[in-house]
Amino acid sequence: MELKEQIDKEKIPVHVAVIMDGNGRWARRQGKPRVEGHRHGVRAVREVTEAAAELGVRYLTLFAFSTENWQRPREEVNALMGLLVNTLNSEVETLMKNGIALHAIGDLESLPPEVHANLMKTVRETASNQRMTLILALSYSARCEITRAARLLAQDVKAGKIQPDEIDEKRFASYLQTRDIPDPDILIRTSGEYRISNFLLWQIAYTELYFTQKLWPDIRKEDLYEAILDYQHRERRFGRISEQVNPDNHR
């Protein structure tokens, strides 16, 4: 049976998050400049986005550029920013066709003006699409996001809008950029690195982690199917015991 057909349509993760890693190594292995890896990564973005929308995933978050990535060589940063503008322009049609709304998180003000303008334009144009929300994490780092939330919250306390004893997890999370988005059910990282690299630290408290050796430019729809199948075989206990979360398996 094909992988896709083995997927239980009743247990599709609501939110899939992905750390797209390994572009540079993909290019290097072929004796090409790193930028070539980023260029070929666009196809993988398209495949995973389409596959997720087809399966009924409601939120797909892609880590495209971290705050720390600004420290890379200037040519690589420039090439990535250029690629982003081109991809936004070339993919709007596909987003519209597939009913996908684009959203972005991160320190967006620090993006070059052209990138920022293109991003906001695409976000506006796709805003009423309902099938899936594609969230791009750009110039994003979780510690920046959490620190910013703390700052905004402190300002509201100072202004008398909230009392300190009214601050609970739900209230705190409402100051994060992901406030209207449920926590990821699964986080996928490609390229065989086993770390989080400052991605969604607050939100992944109970997310299922999935790692693959494949480099991002080699990722296709089938790889998403594999990850989701793996996810569907896990038991999410959230601190409870198996008998509580799956009584039917223990009768």
Q: Which of 42, 56, 40, 43 is nearest to 100 (CA)?
A: 56
Options 69, 107, 156, 218, the catalytic residue: 69
Q: Is 185 a catalytic residue?
A: no
What strands, in cross-sheet order, belong to the sheet with 132-140?
100-105, 132-140, 59-66, 15-19, 186-189, 208-211
Note the residues at the interface with ligand IPE (CB under 6 A). 19-25, 63-66, 69, 80, 191, 193, 195, 197, 216
d(CA 249, CA 251): 6
Between 23 and 122, name the residue whose CB sits nearer to ligand IPE: 23
User: Is position 21 an interface residue for Mg ion (rule: CB under 5 A)?
Assistant: yes
3-class SS at 119? helix
Q: Which residue is nearest to ligand IPE (CB)?
A: 24
197 binding partner (options ligand IPE, Mg ion, none; Cβ < 5 to 8 Å by kind): ligand IPE
User: Quick one: residue 217, left, alpha or beta (phi over 0 = left, psi -120 to 50 = alpha)?
Assistant: alpha
Q: What is the DSSP string of 131-181?
A: SEEEEEEEEE-HHHHHHHHHHHHHHHHHTTSS-GGG--HHHHHTTSTTTTS
Q: Residues 48, 188: contact at Cβ < 8 Å?
A: no
User: Is position 199 an interface residue for Mg ion (rule: CB under 5 A)?
Assistant: no
214 binding partner (options Mg ion, ligand IPE, none; Cβ < 5 to 8 Å by kind): none
Between 28 and 171, name the residue whose CB sits nearer to Mg ion: 28
Identify which range of 15-23, 37-45, 85-93, 228-236 contacts Mg ion by CB under 5 A.
Answer: 15-23
* CA 93 from centre of chain: 21
CB 216, min distance to Mg ion, A: 9
Q: Which of 59, 57, 49, 157 is nearest to 96 (CA)?
A: 49
DSSP designation for 184: P
Between 71 and 128, name the residue whose CB sits nearer to ligand IPE: 71
Between 39 and 148, name the residue whose CB sits nearer to ligand IPE: 39
Between 21 and 185, name the residue whose CB sits nearer to Mg ion: 21
CB 43, min distance to ligand IPE, A: 14
Q: Is 165 a catalytic residue?
A: no
CB 215, min distance to Mg ion, A: 10
CB 229, min distance to Mg ion, A: 26
CB 28, min distance to Mg ion, A: 11
CA distances from 14 to 37, 87, 160, 175 (A): 29, 25, 36, 22
Active-site amino acid positions: 21, 69
